[in-house]
Chains A and B, each alone.
Chain A
Amino acid sequence: MSTTTSDIDLKSKIAKAFEAHPDHQNADRKNALAGFLKMGLPTNKSEEYRFTPVARLLEKNFDFDKVSPAESNLTSIDSFLIPGLEANVLVFVNGRYSKSLSTVVSSAKEIQITPLSASDAKTLTTSTDSFVLLNSALWHDGLSIRVPANTNVELPVFILHVSDASSNQSVNHTRLQVTVENDSSLTLIERSASIGENPIFHTFVEEIKIAEKASLDYIKIQNDEGKLHQVATSLIRQADNSILNTFTLTLSGTLIRNNFNIAVDGENCESHFYGLYLLNGNTIADNHTVVDHLKPNSHSNELYKGVMDEYAKGVFNGKIFVRPHAQLTNAFQSNRNILMTDTATINTKPQLEIWADDVKCSHGCTTGQLDEEALFYLQSRGIPMGEAKAMLLYAFAMETLAPIKNETIKNYLDTLISKRLNRLDATK
């Protein structure tokens, strides 16, 4: 087993891995690496990663200098798909885009999918986040998805990251660029899955642009049972009159960190962010969201709910910025948590920073447990304790599914959640 390495050791290993990268002569990649080496992995002294022991877990579990095997015996991805959902499926296996496993149904008129080139990383090389820099330096493969103007893409785009860790540990970095042009709409689903028992480290960076009057529905499903350590960063920019709906479901994984940075850079925008984390075992799930209102007259609404069981740890940090001149902004945020055991933890920090006076902003945050009277009521009607708990938790969780319009996806998520909640009560 690998032992804990020092920060310097880790940096030199990553520098070595960079040398082995086929595109290591690229200047943008070099800049990003230099930035990363200067910063290192964030420790608990860093405000953004204060409650998430990411550096410790990575140092303990990964040999960064060993390049992960690009080869995989994966032949079928059926078990990772949403049953009954017709979609454009784009598959990455160990960070490489697999054309043979992917299927694009929609016509090229509706949706243009092209490989990303290294120069597309440019804007991110000056990021202040270590993992974005690491990804910018080391990403193997990426895609650009563009929806032309005045197009309503009927079939969702399903992005599947499969990490094959059956023979060795898997370290991979992928990225994505999504542009939804004027008056167009798209549904995007993203899911991480794994095979094998070895640890997996995956960084994922995506840049999303939503142009005027366009809309995007974005659903993230994180229920992989493997030893997944994932840091996903989504940088989203909204133009005038655009609409964004996101839903993030986190059920398992070793360490899942989601960064959602939304720049509301237009007037009359609507943004809805919903999230649900139902955690058990030793899972650590960390959701960081930033909603940055740069222009007046927009509306944002955020609701994240969590249930922490066993030894799980939930972290939530929601930032709302309302910049000067972003008058008449309405921004709401709510974070609700239930702790099932005394060994579970929740660290939450809802943060408001307002520089404009004519705004309506509020946030609320609660931590509690199931209502004893409600439980008693159900029991008095002959419902056993475990079932009663599952029922109440189910009601608690379902509110976050509200923004999902596609019935097939909604039903699938509903099944995932119910399955988890029923298992949860079976352990009691």
Chain B
Amino acid sequence: MAKDNQVLEEITSKEYEHGWSVDLEADESPKGLTEDTVRFISKKKQEPEWLLEWRLKAFRHWLKLEEPKWPNVHYPQINYQDIIYYSAPKKKVAPNSLDEVDPELIKTFEKLGISLTEQKRLSGIAVDAVIDSVSVATTFKDTLSKLGVIFCSFSEAVREHPELIKKYLGSVVPMTDNYFAALNSAVFSDGSFCYIPKGVRCPMELSTYFRINAANTGQFERTLIVAEEGSYVSYLEGCTAPMRDENQLHAAVVELYAMKDAEIKYSTVQNWYPGDKEGKGGIYNFVTKRGLCAGDHSKISWTQVETGSAITWKYPSCVLKGDYSMGEFYSVAVTNNYQQADTGTKMIHIGKNTRSRIVSKGISAGKSQNSYRGQVQVMKRATNARNFSQCDSLLMGDQCGAHTFPYIDVENSSARIEHEATTSKIGEDQIFYCLQRGIDEEAAVALIVNGYAKEVLNQLPMEFAVEAQKLLALTLEGSVG
């Protein structure tokens, strides 16, 4: 018992575990955003002419757009001229082996619990780590390349596989898609690229780790995953950032492209710095994620655990173009203190016999606002489309809010669409039962919340599931009583 208390105390005194920053010497672009900034970034990355043109086109389009106002979130106007758009840890000339990586960097990752060397070799996950704006190291490259799997940083892919990048960049999320996608297309600095050749089942989990380190920077990375016919890949994404008083912007784009019979499983544990208890600071997480089931019988599955960020604005979506293709979305979004989340998914049924499933679990505590916003669209030709959506909200305390905005648009008479949503709180009888069994209130809440979110957590790969459970408990600490 005494030991338990100690453990709990340890947990409850924790605020944000990843709130440190490391003094990495950084190579930064000047503040502000003009065409020159775009050129600067492109030049830094030694990019080919066509990519620069593509960026400029996106930038010019971005100038014409207005920031979206429809999400159910509130924040002061972002000054896009006050952001550093490119920040790279210095001393980096494409490391060939880990020995060449800046020792400070390795320390950073050890702090994060990501050892780029041994640990991951044991757990068998290939990691691509992105600090601030650039990818710093990718592990397990050789093993993967034997199978023909390409897993590298985005800039490396631009250099070595320009034909693939040219073909697929912007094919799922066009640069004109929305305000933040256009911004990202103009100034994206790095990211991960992954290509799984025909018939290959990727033998290990691939993972990207994002971290914003420098102050005043925005992070704009791009992830592109292409799964050829009959291939399979499971991809993990994790994020952390230091504690800083000002808000930082993270506007990423993730594109998934699944051919015939291919399957992509994309899992995210998002734990950006959420701001302090008074709602000061924190990351604005404005992300565009979309997957295209281009071929028949393809499948894309999104799983997300959203615990961090001051504001989350993201809708991982599936465009079900191929016949018999399938889209899934599993989400747990937790908000506490002054966090705001507006998240959900879009399932666009275009092909015949397409299926989609949405399970969204929102948990709001403190003074936070948590919204689910989703769309299920069945096009005219999408016969026998099937969708099941479930979005539940759990409220803890009487000062938070839970909102549900589902759009269901059907143009085909053979579609079967079901949507259900509930809102409730943790039952007093449930808590009482736990107390009776000697489980204190805090632990009881963690237990009940984990049970509530189980359906989603089960979808996560093992290592992530453990982390996610801990995160849930941590985010909600102090929200009872």
Contacts and interface: CB of A to CB of B under 8 A. Distances in A.
Contacts of A345: 409-411
A324 B399 contact: yes
Interface stretch (A34-42, A138-146, A277-285, A362-370): A362-370
A98 interface: no
A361 B410 contact: no
Contact of B396 (A349, A357, A363, A365): A357
Interface in A335-376: 337, 339-342, 344-369
The 8 closest A-B pairs by CB, nearest first: A357-B395, A339-B413, A367-B417, A365-B419, A352-B404, A362-B422, A361-B423, A355-B401
Nearest to A331: B423
Given A327-B398, A361-B422, A367 B415 contact: yes
Q: Looking at chain A's contact residues, is the secondary structure mostly helix, strand, loop, or mixed?
A: strand
A357 B410 contact: no
A121 B403 CA distance: 33
Contacts of A354: 393, 395, 401-403, 423
A354 B395 CA distance: 9
A357 B403 contact: no
A339 B410 contact: yes
B400 A364 contact: no
A369 B386 CA distance: 12
A342 B423 contact: no
B421 interface: yes
B425 A347 contact: no
A78 interface: no
B405 A357 contact: no
Given A356-B398, A358-B398, A364-B418, 19 more contacts: A51-B409, A324-B399, A342-B412, A345-B411, A346-B410, A348-B409, A349-B408, A350-B404, A350-B419, A351-B403, A352-B402, A353-B403, A357-B397, A359-B423, A361-B422, A362-B423, A366-B416, A367-B417, A368-B416
Contacts of B406: 349-351, 365
Nearest to B389: A365
Nearest to A322: B423
B424 interface: yes
Contacts of B423: 352, 354, 359-362
23 contacts: A339-B412, A342-B411, A342-B414, A346-B408, A348-B409, A351-B403, A352-B403, A352-B421, A353-B402, A354-B402, A354-B403, A355-B398, A356-B398, A357-B396, A358-B425, A359-B424, A360-B424, A361-B422, A363-B404, A365-B406, A365-B418, A366-B416, A369-B413
A351 B404 contact: yes
A366 B417 contact: yes
A352 B403 CA distance: 5
A341 B415 CA distance: 11
B70 interface: yes
For chain B, which range describes its interface: under 10, 10 to 19, 20 to 34, or 35 or more residues?
A: 35 or more
B182 to A, nearest CB: 19
Contacts of B414: 342, 369
Scoring B412, B413, B418 by chain A CB atoms within 10 A of each residue's CB, the highest score goes to B413
B414 to A, nearest CB: 6
Contacts of A350: 404, 406, 419, 421
Nearest to A315: B409
A342 B424 contact: no
A337 B418 CA distance: 10
A165 to B, nearest CB: 32
For chain A, which range describes its interface: under 10, 10 to 19, 20 to 34, or 35 or more residues?
A: 35 or more
A419 B393 CA distance: 43
Nearest to B372: A352
Interface of A: 47, 51, 324-325, 327, 337, 339-342, 344-369
Scoring A325, A340, A347, A353 by chain B CB atoms within 10 A of each residue's CB, the highest score goes to A353
Nearest to A325: B398
B141 interface: no
Interface string B379-401: 01000000000000101111111
A354 B422 CA distance: 11
Nearest to A333: B421
A353 B407 contact: no
A342 B380 contact: yes
B420 interface: yes
Contact of B421 (A324, A348, A360, A363): A363
Given A358-B425, A362-B422, A366-B417, A353 B412 contact: no
A344 B412 CA distance: 7
A339 B415 contact: yes
Contacts of B70: 47
A119 B403 CA distance: 37
Contacts of A342: 380, 411-414
Given A324-B398, A354-B401, A360-B424, A349 B413 contact: no
Contacts of B402: 352-354
B413 A357 contact: no
Nearest to B402: A354
Nearest to B365: A357
Contact of B413 (A324, A344, A364): A344
A368 to B, nearest CB: 5
